[in-house]
Chain A
Protein backbone atom coordinates (compact mmCIF):
# COMPACT_ATOMS: atom_id res chain seq x y z
CA UNK A 1 0.00 0.00 0.00
CA UNK A 2 1.34 3.42 -0.92
CA UNK A 3 2.18 6.08 1.64
CA UNK A 4 -0.69 8.24 0.39
CA UNK A 5 -3.17 5.40 0.83
CA UNK A 6 -2.00 4.87 4.40
CA UNK A 7 -2.43 8.55 5.17
CA UNK A 8 -5.94 8.40 3.67
CA UNK A 9 -6.78 5.38 5.86
CA UNK A 10 -5.40 7.12 8.92
CA UNK A 11 -7.71 10.06 8.20
CA UNK A 12 -10.66 7.68 7.81
CA UNK A 13 -9.72 6.24 11.20
CA UNK A 14 -9.73 9.69 12.74
CA UNK A 15 -13.22 10.31 11.35
CA UNK A 16 -14.42 6.92 12.69
CA UNK A 17 -13.07 7.54 16.17
CA UNK A 18 -14.58 11.03 16.04
CA UNK A 19 -17.89 9.41 15.09
CA UNK A 20 -17.72 7.02 18.05
CA UNK A 21 -16.93 9.90 20.38
CA UNK A 22 -19.69 12.15 19.04
CA UNK A 23 -22.45 9.55 18.82
CA UNK A 24 -21.56 7.77 22.08
CA UNK A 25 -23.46 4.69 23.16
CA UNK A 26 -23.80 4.51 26.92
CA UNK A 27 -26.14 6.32 29.24
CA UNK A 28 -24.48 9.20 31.02
CA UNK A 29 -23.73 8.21 34.57
CA UNK A 30 -25.79 10.62 36.63
CA UNK A 31 -24.37 13.70 38.24
CA UNK A 32 -26.68 13.26 41.19
CA UNK A 33 -29.46 11.28 42.86
CA UNK A 34 -32.90 12.84 43.12
CA UNK A 35 -34.46 12.65 46.54
CA UNK A 36 -38.24 12.45 46.45
CA UNK A 37 -39.92 15.12 48.50
CA UNK A 38 -42.33 13.87 51.14
CA UNK A 39 -45.64 15.49 52.08
CA UNK A 40 -45.27 14.48 55.68
CA UNK A 41 -47.71 15.50 58.34
CA UNK A 42 -45.95 16.79 61.43
CA UNK A 43 -44.13 13.66 62.55
CA UNK A 44 -44.64 14.46 66.24
CA UNK A 45 -48.39 15.02 65.83
CA UNK A 46 -48.85 11.95 63.62
CA UNK A 47 -50.57 8.91 65.11
CA UNK A 48 -48.83 5.56 64.79
CA UNK A 49 -50.21 3.58 61.89
CA UNK A 50 -49.60 -0.07 61.04
CA UNK A 51 -51.46 -2.34 58.64
CA UNK A 52 -50.85 -5.63 56.87
CA UNK A 53 -52.62 -7.32 53.97
CA UNK A 54 -52.10 -9.67 51.05
CA UNK A 55 -51.80 -7.90 47.72
CA UNK A 56 -52.79 -11.03 45.79
CA UNK A 57 -55.34 -12.43 48.23
CA UNK A 58 -57.53 -13.73 45.39
CA UNK A 59 -54.66 -15.41 43.58
CA UNK A 60 -54.18 -19.14 44.10
CA UNK A 61 -50.75 -19.99 42.72
CA UNK A 62 -48.36 -22.66 44.02
CA UNK A 63 -45.48 -20.19 43.77
CA UNK A 64 -45.15 -16.39 43.85
CA UNK A 65 -41.94 -14.48 44.44
CA UNK A 66 -39.94 -11.23 44.22
CA UNK A 67 -42.62 -8.60 44.72
CA UNK A 68 -41.97 -4.91 44.29
CA UNK A 69 -44.13 -1.87 44.89
CA UNK A 70 -43.97 1.44 43.04
CA UNK A 71 -45.54 4.86 43.46
CA UNK A 72 -46.89 6.06 40.13
CA UNK A 73 -46.87 9.66 38.93
CA UNK A 74 -50.46 10.15 40.15
CA UNK A 75 -49.30 8.95 43.63
CA UNK A 76 -51.26 5.70 43.38
CA UNK A 77 -49.41 2.44 44.07
CA UNK A 78 -48.67 -0.48 41.79
CA UNK A 79 -47.15 -3.84 42.64
CA UNK A 80 -45.37 -6.44 40.54
CA UNK A 81 -44.35 -10.04 41.13
CA UNK A 82 -43.89 -13.24 39.23
CA UNK A 83 -45.63 -16.52 39.84
CA UNK A 84 -46.59 -19.91 38.48
CA UNK A 85 -46.25 -23.62 39.22
CA UNK A 86 -42.66 -23.47 40.61
CA UNK A 87 -39.54 -21.27 40.63
CA UNK A 88 -38.11 -21.99 37.18
CA UNK A 89 -41.31 -22.96 35.42
CA UNK A 90 -41.81 -21.89 31.78
CA UNK A 91 -45.41 -21.18 32.78
CA UNK A 92 -44.40 -18.41 35.20
CA UNK A 93 -45.89 -15.03 34.40
CA UNK A 94 -45.38 -11.47 35.57
CA UNK A 95 -48.32 -10.01 37.46
CA UNK A 96 -49.28 -6.38 37.95
CA UNK A 97 -51.77 -4.93 40.38
CA UNK A 98 -52.81 -1.34 41.14
CA UNK A 99 -54.17 -0.01 44.39
CA UNK A 100 -57.41 1.87 43.99
CA UNK A 101 -59.09 3.61 46.93
CA UNK A 102 -56.88 1.62 49.29
CA UNK A 103 -57.80 -1.76 47.78
CA UNK A 104 -55.48 -3.86 45.64
CA UNK A 105 -57.15 -4.74 42.34
CA UNK A 106 -57.16 -8.22 40.78
CA UNK A 107 -53.72 -9.04 39.39
CA UNK A 108 -53.24 -8.64 35.64
CA UNK A 109 -50.79 -10.72 33.62
CA UNK A 110 -48.45 -8.32 31.85
CA UNK A 111 -45.72 -10.62 30.58
CA UNK A 112 -45.53 -14.28 29.65
CA UNK A 113 -42.72 -16.50 28.41
CA UNK A 114 -44.47 -16.81 25.05
CA UNK A 115 -44.66 -13.05 24.60
CA UNK A 116 -40.98 -12.58 25.42
CA UNK A 117 -40.06 -15.41 23.04
CA UNK A 118 -42.16 -13.78 20.33
CA UNK A 119 -40.75 -10.29 20.84
CA UNK A 120 -37.11 -11.38 21.11
CA UNK A 121 -37.51 -14.05 18.42
CA UNK A 122 -35.66 -16.69 20.42
CA UNK A 123 -36.51 -19.37 22.95
CA UNK A 124 -36.69 -18.46 26.64
CA UNK A 125 -36.79 -20.86 29.56
CA UNK A 126 -38.72 -18.74 32.09
CA UNK A 127 -39.26 -15.29 33.61
CA UNK A 128 -38.61 -13.68 36.98
CA UNK A 129 -37.76 -10.63 39.11
CA UNK A 130 -39.90 -7.81 37.67
CA UNK A 131 -39.27 -4.18 38.58
CA UNK A 132 -41.11 -1.03 37.53
CA UNK A 133 -39.68 2.41 36.85
CA UNK A 134 -42.37 5.11 36.79
CA UNK A 135 -41.05 7.79 34.43
CA UNK A 136 -41.99 11.43 35.16
CA UNK A 137 -43.88 11.59 31.83
CA UNK A 138 -46.30 8.94 33.10
CA UNK A 139 -44.89 6.04 31.09
CA UNK A 140 -43.90 2.87 32.93
CA UNK A 141 -40.60 1.15 32.22
CA UNK A 142 -40.61 -2.55 33.11
CA UNK A 143 -37.37 -4.41 33.81
CA UNK A 144 -37.44 -8.16 34.26
CA UNK A 145 -35.24 -11.21 34.13
CA UNK A 146 -35.52 -14.05 31.66
CA UNK A 147 -33.52 -17.24 31.94
CA UNK A 148 -31.88 -18.46 28.74
CA UNK A 149 -30.62 -21.74 30.17
CA UNK A 150 -29.92 -23.36 33.52
CA UNK A 151 -30.99 -21.39 36.57
CA UNK A 152 -30.45 -17.80 37.72
CA UNK A 153 -26.83 -17.72 36.54
CA UNK A 154 -28.20 -18.11 33.01
CA UNK A 155 -30.36 -15.01 33.26
CA UNK A 156 -30.56 -11.88 31.14
CA UNK A 157 -32.29 -8.54 31.59
CA UNK A 158 -35.14 -7.30 29.41
CA UNK A 159 -37.23 -4.18 29.24
CA UNK A 160 -40.57 -2.98 27.92
CA UNK A 161 -42.50 0.30 28.06
CA UNK A 162 -46.15 1.03 28.76
CA UNK A 163 -47.70 4.34 27.74
CA UNK A 164 -51.17 3.53 29.08
CA UNK A 165 -50.58 2.84 32.75
CA UNK A 166 -49.65 -0.82 32.33
CA UNK A 167 -52.49 -2.04 30.11
CA UNK A 168 -50.36 -2.62 27.02
CA UNK A 169 -46.62 -3.05 26.70
CA UNK A 170 -44.16 -2.33 23.91
CA UNK A 171 -42.06 -4.95 22.18
CA UNK A 172 -39.59 -6.47 24.67
CA UNK A 173 -35.96 -5.41 24.25
CA UNK A 174 -32.93 -7.27 25.54
CA UNK A 175 -30.26 -5.36 27.47
CA UNK A 176 -26.68 -6.53 26.90
CA UNK A 177 -24.81 -6.14 30.18
CA UNK A 178 -22.16 -8.84 30.17
CA UNK A 179 -19.53 -9.73 27.54
CA UNK A 180 -19.69 -13.47 28.22
CA UNK A 181 -22.80 -14.55 26.27
CA UNK A 182 -24.62 -11.73 28.11
CA UNK A 183 -25.22 -14.17 30.96
CA UNK A 184 -26.19 -13.61 34.54
CA UNK A 185 -27.49 -10.11 35.08
CA UNK A 186 -30.36 -9.75 37.51
CA UNK A 187 -32.45 -6.99 39.00
CA UNK A 188 -34.39 -7.00 42.25
CA UNK A 189 -34.23 -3.90 44.40
CA UNK A 190 -35.69 -0.42 44.31
CA UNK A 191 -34.47 1.94 41.53
CA UNK A 192 -33.52 5.53 42.32
CA UNK A 193 -34.31 8.52 40.15
CA UNK A 194 -31.23 10.50 39.02
CA UNK A 195 -30.67 13.78 37.22
CA UNK A 196 -30.30 11.86 33.94
CA UNK A 197 -32.77 9.02 34.40
CA UNK A 198 -32.57 6.00 36.70
CA UNK A 199 -29.99 4.19 38.76
CA UNK A 200 -31.06 0.57 39.16
CA UNK A 201 -29.26 -1.81 41.53
CA UNK A 202 -28.38 -4.99 39.62
CA UNK A 203 -26.07 -7.91 40.30
CA UNK A 204 -24.24 -10.71 38.61
CA UNK A 205 -24.17 -14.30 39.81
CA UNK A 206 -22.20 -16.33 37.31
CA UNK A 207 -18.58 -17.16 38.18
CA UNK A 208 -18.57 -14.37 40.73
CA UNK A 209 -21.41 -12.88 42.72
CA UNK A 210 -21.16 -9.12 42.97
CA UNK A 211 -23.26 -5.94 43.02
CA UNK A 212 -23.49 -3.39 40.22
CA UNK A 213 -25.52 -0.35 39.20
CA UNK A 214 -27.39 0.02 35.93
CA UNK A 215 -27.67 3.63 34.70
CA UNK A 216 -30.63 4.17 32.42
CA UNK A 217 -31.69 7.22 30.49
CA UNK A 218 -34.57 7.52 28.10
CA UNK A 219 -35.45 9.84 25.25
CA UNK A 220 -38.57 9.44 23.08
CA UNK A 221 -39.03 5.88 24.34
CA UNK A 222 -35.49 4.87 23.33
CA UNK A 223 -33.27 3.87 26.20
CA UNK A 224 -29.53 4.07 26.54
CA UNK A 225 -27.70 2.40 29.38
CA UNK A 226 -24.45 1.43 30.96
CA UNK A 227 -23.46 -0.13 34.24
CA UNK A 228 -20.84 0.37 36.89
CA UNK A 229 -19.51 -1.89 39.61
CA UNK A 230 -19.84 -1.61 43.37
CA UNK A 231 -17.61 -4.55 44.33
CA UNK A 232 -16.11 -7.58 42.62
CA UNK A 233 -15.37 -11.19 43.49
CA UNK A 234 -17.68 -13.73 44.98
CA UNK A 235 -18.80 -11.55 47.82
CA UNK A 236 -22.14 -9.79 48.02
CA UNK A 237 -25.19 -9.34 45.82
CA UNK A 238 -28.68 -7.88 45.55
CA UNK A 239 -27.73 -4.31 46.44
CA UNK A 240 -30.29 -2.04 48.07
CA UNK A 241 -29.49 1.56 47.10
CA UNK A 242 -30.32 4.29 49.62
CA UNK A 243 -29.49 7.86 48.55
CA UNK A 244 -28.89 10.35 51.37
CA UNK A 245 -28.63 13.41 49.14
CA UNK A 246 -27.64 14.20 45.57
CA UNK A 247 -24.05 12.99 46.10
CA UNK A 248 -24.07 10.67 49.12
CA UNK A 249 -25.58 7.19 49.15
CA UNK A 250 -25.47 3.87 50.96
CA UNK A 251 -25.77 0.37 49.60
CA UNK A 252 -26.90 -2.52 51.78
CA UNK A 253 -25.78 -5.90 50.49
CA UNK A 254 -26.85 -9.51 50.81
CA UNK A 255 -23.95 -11.61 51.99
CA UNK A 256 -22.46 -14.47 50.01
CA UNK A 257 -19.42 -15.00 52.23
CA UNK A 258 -19.02 -16.99 55.44
CA UNK A 259 -19.45 -13.77 57.45
CA UNK A 260 -23.26 -14.16 57.45
CA UNK A 261 -23.77 -10.42 57.95
CA UNK A 262 -25.45 -7.64 56.02
CA UNK A 263 -22.75 -5.54 54.35
CA UNK A 264 -22.77 -1.79 53.74
CA UNK A 265 -20.89 0.36 51.23
CA UNK A 266 -20.87 4.15 50.88
CA UNK A 267 -20.50 6.63 48.04
CA UNK A 268 -19.85 10.36 48.21
CA UNK A 269 -19.70 11.01 44.46
CA UNK A 270 -23.23 10.18 43.31
CA UNK A 271 -22.50 6.48 42.94
CA UNK A 272 -19.40 6.72 40.76
CA UNK A 273 -17.22 5.02 43.35
CA UNK A 274 -18.01 2.94 46.43
CA UNK A 275 -16.16 2.11 49.62
CA UNK A 276 -15.12 -1.47 50.27
CA UNK A 277 -18.21 -3.23 51.71
CA UNK A 278 -18.06 -3.65 55.50
CA UNK A 279 -20.02 -6.09 57.63
CA UNK A 280 -22.71 -4.55 59.84
CA UNK A 281 -23.90 -5.99 63.14
CA UNK A 282 -27.02 -7.44 61.47
CA UNK A 283 -27.08 -11.12 60.43
CA UNK A 284 -27.82 -12.31 56.92
CA UNK A 285 -28.58 -15.90 55.96
CA UNK A 286 -27.73 -15.29 52.26
CA UNK A 287 -31.14 -13.69 51.73
CA UNK A 288 -32.51 -10.51 50.18
CA UNK A 289 -32.73 -7.26 52.14
CA UNK A 290 -34.19 -3.84 51.47
CA UNK A 291 -33.58 -0.47 53.08
CA UNK A 292 -34.80 3.12 52.98
CA UNK A 293 -33.73 6.43 54.50
CA UNK A 294 -36.31 8.10 56.69
CA UNK A 295 -36.74 11.85 56.43
CA UNK A 296 -34.64 12.58 59.51
CA UNK A 297 -31.73 10.65 58.07
CA UNK A 298 -32.20 7.38 59.92
CA UNK A 299 -31.84 4.18 57.91
CA UNK A 300 -34.48 1.46 58.14
CA UNK A 301 -33.88 -2.08 56.87
CA UNK A 302 -36.08 -5.15 56.48
CA UNK A 303 -34.10 -8.37 56.84
CA UNK A 304 -34.18 -12.02 57.89
CA UNK A 305 -32.91 -11.86 61.45
CA UNK A 306 -30.95 -15.13 61.46
CA UNK A 307 -27.76 -16.63 60.09
CA UNK A 308 -29.72 -19.55 58.67
CA UNK A 309 -33.25 -19.80 57.30
CA UNK A 310 -35.87 -17.23 56.37
CA UNK A 311 -38.53 -17.89 58.99
CA UNK A 312 -38.12 -14.49 60.61
CA UNK A 313 -38.54 -11.07 59.02
CA UNK A 314 -37.58 -8.03 61.10
CA UNK A 315 -36.99 -4.29 60.99
CA UNK A 316 -33.84 -2.55 62.24
CA UNK A 317 -33.01 1.14 62.51
CA UNK A 318 -29.71 2.98 62.32
CA UNK A 319 -29.21 6.47 63.73
CA UNK A 320 -25.58 6.70 62.60
CA UNK A 321 -25.73 6.10 58.86
CA UNK A 322 -25.42 2.33 59.06
CA UNK A 323 -22.56 2.03 61.55
CA UNK A 324 -24.77 0.40 64.17
CA UNK A 325 -28.28 -1.01 64.02
CA UNK A 326 -31.06 -1.53 66.54
CA UNK A 327 -33.81 -4.09 66.03
CA UNK A 328 -37.20 -2.39 66.41
CA UNK A 329 -39.86 -4.86 65.27
CA UNK A 330 -40.53 -8.40 64.10
CA UNK A 331 -42.83 -8.51 61.07
CA UNK A 332 -43.01 -12.29 60.77
CA UNK A 333 -41.81 -15.20 62.86
CA UNK A 334 -42.95 -18.73 62.04
CA UNK A 335 -40.57 -21.67 61.85
CA UNK A 336 -42.93 -23.48 59.48
CA UNK A 337 -42.90 -20.70 56.90
CA UNK A 338 -40.50 -18.65 54.78
CA UNK A 339 -40.56 -14.84 54.45
CA UNK A 340 -38.17 -13.47 51.90
CA UNK A 341 -37.21 -10.83 49.35
CA UNK A 342 -38.50 -7.73 51.16
CA UNK A 343 -38.93 -4.57 49.10
CA UNK A 344 -39.27 -1.20 50.84
CA UNK A 345 -40.70 2.06 49.58
CA UNK A 346 -41.55 5.30 51.34
CA UNK A 347 -44.34 6.93 49.34
CA UNK A 348 -44.68 10.70 48.97
CA UNK A 349 -47.30 10.74 51.77
CA UNK A 350 -44.64 9.36 54.11
CA UNK A 351 -46.23 5.91 54.44
CA UNK A 352 -43.67 3.11 54.38
CA UNK A 353 -44.58 0.04 52.34
CA UNK A 354 -42.85 -3.32 52.73
CA UNK A 355 -43.77 -6.11 50.33
CA UNK A 356 -42.35 -9.62 50.54
CA UNK A 357 -42.87 -13.24 49.55
CA UNK A 358 -45.06 -14.84 52.19
CA UNK A 359 -44.12 -18.52 52.30
CA UNK A 360 -43.62 -18.43 48.54
CA UNK A 361 -47.39 -18.44 48.07
CA UNK A 362 -48.60 -14.89 48.61
CA UNK A 363 -47.39 -11.32 48.25
CA UNK A 364 -47.81 -9.60 51.60
CA UNK A 365 -47.70 -5.86 52.17
CA UNK A 366 -47.02 -4.24 55.51
CA UNK A 367 -47.62 -0.47 55.74
CA UNK A 368 -46.72 1.85 58.58
CA UNK A 369 -45.64 5.41 59.24
CA UNK A 370 -42.65 7.02 60.91
CA UNK A 371 -44.67 7.58 64.08
CA UNK A 372 -45.07 3.79 64.37
CA UNK A 373 -41.32 3.40 63.76
CA UNK A 374 -40.62 5.93 66.53
CA UNK A 375 -42.96 4.09 68.87
CA UNK A 376 -41.31 0.76 68.13
CA UNK A 377 -37.87 2.26 68.68
CA UNK A 378 -38.95 3.73 72.00
CA UNK A 379 -40.14 0.31 73.18
CA UNK A 380 -36.70 -1.23 72.67
CA UNK A 381 -34.16 -1.12 75.50
Chain B
Protein backbone atom coordinates (compact mmCIF):
# COMPACT_ATOMS: atom_id res chain seq x y z
CA UNK B 1 0.00 0.00 0.00
CA UNK B 2 1.58 3.27 -1.06
CA UNK B 3 1.16 6.61 0.65
CA UNK B 4 -1.79 7.75 -1.49
CA UNK B 5 -3.61 4.44 -1.04
CA UNK B 6 -3.11 4.73 2.73
CA UNK B 7 -4.62 8.23 2.65
CA UNK B 8 -7.63 7.04 0.61
CA UNK B 9 -8.14 4.01 2.85
CA UNK B 10 -7.89 6.08 6.02
CA UNK B 11 -10.26 8.77 4.67
CA UNK B 12 -12.83 6.02 3.91
CA UNK B 13 -12.93 4.67 7.46
CA UNK B 14 -14.89 7.47 9.12
CA UNK B 15 -17.65 7.60 6.44
CA UNK B 16 -17.92 3.78 6.57
CA UNK B 17 -18.18 3.71 10.38
CA UNK B 18 -20.70 6.59 10.41
CA UNK B 19 -22.89 5.00 7.74
CA UNK B 20 -22.73 1.61 9.52
CA UNK B 21 -23.97 3.28 12.70
CA UNK B 22 -26.77 5.01 10.80
CA UNK B 23 -27.88 1.72 9.22
CA UNK B 24 -28.01 0.07 12.63
CA UNK B 25 -30.90 2.38 13.44
CA UNK B 26 -32.00 3.60 16.85
CA UNK B 27 -32.64 0.17 18.37
CA UNK B 28 -30.07 -0.15 21.21
CA UNK B 29 -29.99 -3.93 20.73
CA UNK B 30 -29.98 -4.65 16.99
CA UNK B 31 -30.30 -8.24 15.83
CA UNK B 32 -27.16 -10.24 15.05
CA UNK B 33 -28.06 -10.23 11.35
CA UNK B 34 -28.43 -6.46 11.32
CA UNK B 35 -25.17 -6.04 13.25
CA UNK B 36 -23.30 -8.01 10.59
CA UNK B 37 -25.21 -6.68 7.58
CA UNK B 38 -25.03 -2.96 8.40
CA UNK B 39 -21.23 -2.56 8.00
CA UNK B 40 -21.34 -4.69 4.84
CA UNK B 41 -24.21 -2.70 3.32
CA UNK B 42 -22.44 0.54 4.33
CA UNK B 43 -19.31 -0.58 2.49
CA UNK B 44 -21.43 -1.50 -0.55
CA UNK B 45 -23.17 1.88 -0.58
CA UNK B 46 -19.89 3.78 -0.30
CA UNK B 47 -18.48 1.85 -3.25
CA UNK B 48 -21.41 2.68 -5.55
CA UNK B 49 -19.91 4.50 -8.54
CA UNK B 50 -21.26 7.95 -9.23
CA UNK B 51 -19.88 9.72 -12.29
CA UNK B 52 -16.57 7.81 -12.37
CA UNK B 53 -15.96 7.88 -8.61
CA UNK B 54 -17.24 5.71 -5.76
CA UNK B 55 -19.50 7.58 -3.35
CA UNK B 56 -16.80 7.55 -0.67
CA UNK B 57 -14.51 9.66 -2.87
CA UNK B 58 -17.31 12.23 -3.30
CA UNK B 59 -17.31 12.47 0.50
CA UNK B 60 -13.53 12.96 0.35
CA UNK B 61 -14.21 15.93 -1.91
CA UNK B 62 -15.61 17.66 1.16
CA UNK B 63 -13.64 16.02 3.97
CA UNK B 64 -10.43 14.29 2.99
CA UNK B 65 -8.92 14.49 6.48
CA UNK B 66 -11.32 13.00 9.04
CA UNK B 67 -9.58 13.31 12.40
CA UNK B 68 -8.15 10.27 14.16
CA UNK B 69 -10.31 11.20 17.15
CA UNK B 70 -13.53 11.10 15.12
CA UNK B 71 -12.55 7.84 13.45
CA UNK B 72 -11.78 6.17 16.79
CA UNK B 73 -14.93 7.51 18.49
CA UNK B 74 -17.03 6.16 15.62
CA UNK B 75 -15.25 2.80 15.89
CA UNK B 76 -15.83 2.67 19.66
CA UNK B 77 -19.52 3.51 19.16
CA UNK B 78 -19.91 0.88 16.42
CA UNK B 79 -18.19 -1.85 18.46
CA UNK B 80 -20.58 -1.18 21.34
CA UNK B 81 -23.63 -1.14 19.03
CA UNK B 82 -22.87 -4.46 17.35
CA UNK B 83 -22.63 -6.28 20.67
CA UNK B 84 -18.92 -5.83 21.34
CA UNK B 85 -17.46 -4.52 24.59
CA UNK B 86 -18.51 -1.07 25.80
CA UNK B 87 -15.10 0.56 25.70
CA UNK B 88 -16.34 4.00 26.77
CA UNK B 89 -18.34 4.93 29.86
CA UNK B 90 -20.45 8.09 29.99
CA UNK B 91 -17.61 10.09 31.59
CA UNK B 92 -15.29 9.04 28.75
CA UNK B 93 -17.76 10.36 26.17
CA UNK B 94 -18.13 13.58 28.16
CA UNK B 95 -14.34 14.03 28.07
CA UNK B 96 -14.38 13.43 24.30
CA UNK B 97 -17.01 16.14 23.76
CA UNK B 98 -15.32 18.57 26.15
CA UNK B 99 -11.91 18.21 24.50
CA UNK B 100 -13.55 18.52 21.06
CA UNK B 101 -15.37 21.69 22.11
CA UNK B 102 -12.25 23.26 23.56
CA UNK B 103 -10.22 22.39 20.46
CA UNK B 104 -12.97 23.80 18.20
CA UNK B 105 -13.10 27.08 20.04
CA UNK B 106 -9.32 27.46 20.00
CA UNK B 107 -8.95 26.43 16.36
CA UNK B 108 -11.80 27.52 14.11
CA UNK B 109 -12.60 31.18 14.88
CA UNK B 110 -8.95 32.27 14.66
CA UNK B 111 -8.07 29.96 11.77
CA UNK B 112 -10.97 31.28 9.72
CA UNK B 113 -9.75 34.85 10.10
CA UNK B 114 -11.33 36.28 13.23
CA UNK B 115 -7.94 37.54 14.39
CA UNK B 116 -4.49 38.24 12.92
CA UNK B 117 -3.29 35.16 14.83
CA UNK B 118 -3.56 31.88 12.91
CA UNK B 119 -4.27 29.06 15.37
CA UNK B 120 -3.97 26.47 12.57
CA UNK B 121 -0.28 27.34 12.31
CA UNK B 122 0.26 25.80 15.77
CA UNK B 123 -0.38 22.41 14.20
CA UNK B 124 2.86 22.62 12.21
CA UNK B 125 4.91 23.10 15.37
CA UNK B 126 5.39 21.15 18.59
CA UNK B 127 2.98 23.14 20.77
CA UNK B 128 -0.18 21.25 19.85
CA UNK B 129 1.44 17.86 20.47
CA UNK B 130 2.64 19.06 23.87
CA UNK B 131 -0.82 20.42 24.76
CA UNK B 132 -2.46 17.17 23.63
CA UNK B 133 0.03 15.18 25.72
CA UNK B 134 -0.71 17.36 28.76
CA UNK B 135 -4.47 16.76 28.41
CA UNK B 136 -3.78 13.05 27.94
CA UNK B 137 -1.75 12.92 31.16
CA UNK B 138 -4.54 14.64 33.10
CA UNK B 139 -7.12 12.20 31.70
CA UNK B 140 -4.84 9.25 32.48
CA UNK B 141 -4.41 10.40 36.05
CA UNK B 142 -8.17 10.62 36.60
CA UNK B 143 -8.65 7.28 34.85
CA UNK B 144 -10.60 8.61 31.85
CA UNK B 145 -10.46 6.26 28.85
CA UNK B 146 -10.57 9.05 26.30
CA UNK B 147 -6.86 9.34 27.15
CA UNK B 148 -6.20 6.17 25.10
CA UNK B 149 -7.77 7.82 22.05
CA UNK B 150 -5.48 10.80 22.55
CA UNK B 151 -2.46 8.48 22.80
CA UNK B 152 -3.36 7.18 19.33
CA UNK B 153 -3.87 10.77 18.14
CA UNK B 154 -0.32 11.51 19.28
CA UNK B 155 0.87 8.46 17.39
CA UNK B 156 -1.01 9.81 14.34
CA UNK B 157 0.82 13.13 14.72
CA UNK B 158 4.03 11.20 14.00
CA UNK B 159 2.86 9.01 11.13
CA UNK B 160 0.08 11.16 9.60
CA UNK B 161 -2.13 8.58 7.88
CA UNK B 162 -3.98 11.44 6.17
CA UNK B 163 -3.22 13.95 3.40
CA UNK B 164 -2.75 16.76 5.86
CA UNK B 165 0.61 17.36 7.51
CA UNK B 166 -0.94 19.55 10.22
CA UNK B 167 -1.34 18.04 13.71
CA UNK B 168 -4.70 19.77 14.21
CA UNK B 169 -6.16 17.48 11.55
CA UNK B 170 -5.17 14.44 13.64
CA UNK B 171 -6.98 15.86 16.65
CA UNK B 172 -10.06 17.50 15.21
CA UNK B 173 -12.16 17.98 12.10
CA UNK B 174 -15.22 20.10 11.46
CA UNK B 175 -17.66 17.18 12.01
CA UNK B 176 -16.17 16.16 15.36
CA UNK B 177 -15.96 19.83 16.33
CA UNK B 178 -19.64 20.50 15.58
CA UNK B 179 -20.79 17.27 17.31
CA UNK B 180 -18.66 18.15 20.34
CA UNK B 181 -20.08 21.65 20.63
CA UNK B 182 -23.67 20.38 20.33
CA UNK B 183 -23.02 17.55 22.82
CA UNK B 184 -21.33 19.89 25.29
CA UNK B 185 -24.23 22.35 25.11
CA UNK B 186 -26.68 19.48 25.72
CA UNK B 187 -24.58 18.22 28.67
CA UNK B 188 -24.51 21.72 30.18
CA UNK B 189 -28.28 22.14 29.67
CA UNK B 190 -29.07 18.76 31.22
CA UNK B 191 -26.72 19.53 34.10
CA UNK B 192 -28.45 22.88 34.69
CA UNK B 193 -31.88 21.23 34.56
CA UNK B 194 -30.85 18.46 36.93
CA UNK B 195 -29.19 20.85 39.42
CA UNK B 196 -32.18 23.18 39.07
CA UNK B 197 -34.57 20.33 39.88
CA UNK B 198 -32.51 19.12 42.82
CA UNK B 199 -32.15 22.73 44.01
CA UNK B 200 -35.93 23.21 43.80
CA UNK B 201 -36.45 19.91 45.58
CA UNK B 202 -34.07 21.02 48.34
CA UNK B 203 -35.81 24.37 48.65
CA UNK B 204 -39.21 22.66 48.87
CA UNK B 205 -37.86 20.29 51.50
CA UNK B 206 -36.74 23.19 53.66
CA UNK B 207 -39.21 24.09 56.44
Contact = CB atoms under 8 A, between A and B. Distances in A.
A16 B155 contact: yes
A117 to B, nearest CB: 7
B10 to A, nearest CB: 13
B48 interface: no
A207 B112 contact: yes
Interface string A202-227: 00101111101000000000001111
A13 B65 contact: no
Nearest to A235: B113
A9 B63 contact: no
Interface string B132-151: 01001100110100010001
A179 B64 contact: no
A25 B166 contact: yes
Contact of A13 (B107, B120, B136, B163): B136
Interface stretch (B38-46, B53-61, B193-201): B53-61
Given A25-B167, A179-B111, A227-B121, A17 B63 contact: no
Given A117-B52, A122-B58, A182 B125 contact: no
B61 A208 contact: no
Interface residues of B, number: 55
Contacts of B108: 179-180
B158 A19 contact: yes
Contacts of B53: 117, 121-123
A20 interface: yes
Given A122-B57, A226-B121, A6 B140 contact: yes
Contacts of A17: 126, 129-130, 133, 154
B165 interface: yes
Nearest to B155: A16
A168 interface: no
A21 B130 CA distance: 9
Given A16-B158, A149-B61, A232-B114, A179 B120 contact: yes
Interface residues of A, number: 49
Contacts of A14: 133
Interface stretch (B21-29, B83-91, B168-176): B168-176
A31 interface: no
Interface in B107-127: 107-108, 110-118, 120-121, 123-126
A231 B117 CA distance: 8
B118 A16 contact: no
Contacts of B94: none
A234 interface: yes
B57 A232 contact: no
B124 A123 contact: no
Interface in A1-60: 1, 6, 9-10, 12-14, 16-17, 19-21, 23-27
B71 to A, nearest CB: 16
A13 B137 contact: yes
A13 B154 contact: yes
A206 B154 contact: no
Interface of B: 4, 8, 51-53, 57-58, 60-65, 107-108, 110-118, 120-121, 123-126, 129-130, 133, 136-137, 140-141, 143, 147, 151, 154-155, 157-158, 160, 163-169, 172-174
Interface of A: 1, 6, 9-10, 12-14, 16-17, 19-21, 23-27, 117, 121-124, 148-149, 171, 174, 176, 178-182, 204, 206-210, 212, 224-229, 231-234
Given A13-B137, A16-B151, A17-B126, 6 more contacts: A10-B137, A117-B52, A122-B58, A181-B174, A226-B124, A232-B118
